[in-house]
Amino acid sequence: GLELSHCVRTNALGPAGPWRSGGPCKMKRVRTVFKPEQLERLEQEFLKQQYMVGTERVDLAATLHLTETQVKVWFQNRRIKWRKQSMEQKAAKLSQFGVIQPASADSTDSKDHEEDTVDVEL
């Protein structure tokens, strides 16, 4: 289940989204705060493999006392961060040699998985 905070008043004219009830009140999701030990283990696993699926993800989630969804979304967000850092390093190297980076540097490669474009923590 999702952790939700208390009801927060919002503009009733806005569309109902995934975190809103149908009425004038919305439920705001509480952001997951990972413990340092959990983050250390997640980072270790990410260094081994950027994609965690199936029973490996279930086992890791159970070991860290997290939900499978929390582990899945952490890996999605970590891959996005990793790609961004890689692009910044590449741009820095190119600028050292006087090569100008195209304006579309922020676009993702077509080979990227659609799931990785999600930057929402569930």
CATH number at residue 42: 1.10.10.60
- Please tell me whether the overall predicted TM-score, pTM, comes out greater than 0.75 for this model: no
Instruction: Give me 95's structure tokens.
Output: 């600028």
HSE-up (13 A, CA, CB side) for residue 56: 11
Is residue 62 included in any domain, yes or no? yes
User: What domain range is 71 assigned to?
Assistant: 37-93
- Block residue for tokens 């993800």: 57
Is residue 2 included in any domain, yes or no? no
Is residue 56 included in any domain, yes or no? yes
Residue 79: the pLDDT is 97
DSSP letter for each residue of 54-100: HHHHHHHHHHHT--HHHHHHHHHHHHHHHHHHHHHHHHHHHHHTTPP
Is residue 58 included in any domain, yes or no? yes
Is residue 18 included in any domain, yes or no? no
Is residue 109 included in any domain, yes or no? no
Q: How far is CA 77 from the centre of its chain?
A: 2
Residue 96: the pLDDT is 83
Tell me the pLDDT of the chain (122 aa) as tens digits.
455 555 555 444 544 445 545 556 777 878 899 999 999 999 999 999 999 989 999 999 999 999 999 999 999 999 999 999 999 999 988 888 877 655 554 544 444 444 444 444 44
**Total number of domains constituting the chain:** 1
Is residue 65 included in any domain, yes or no? yes
Residue 117: the pLDDT is 45
Give dist(CA 95, CA 97) in Å, integer: 5
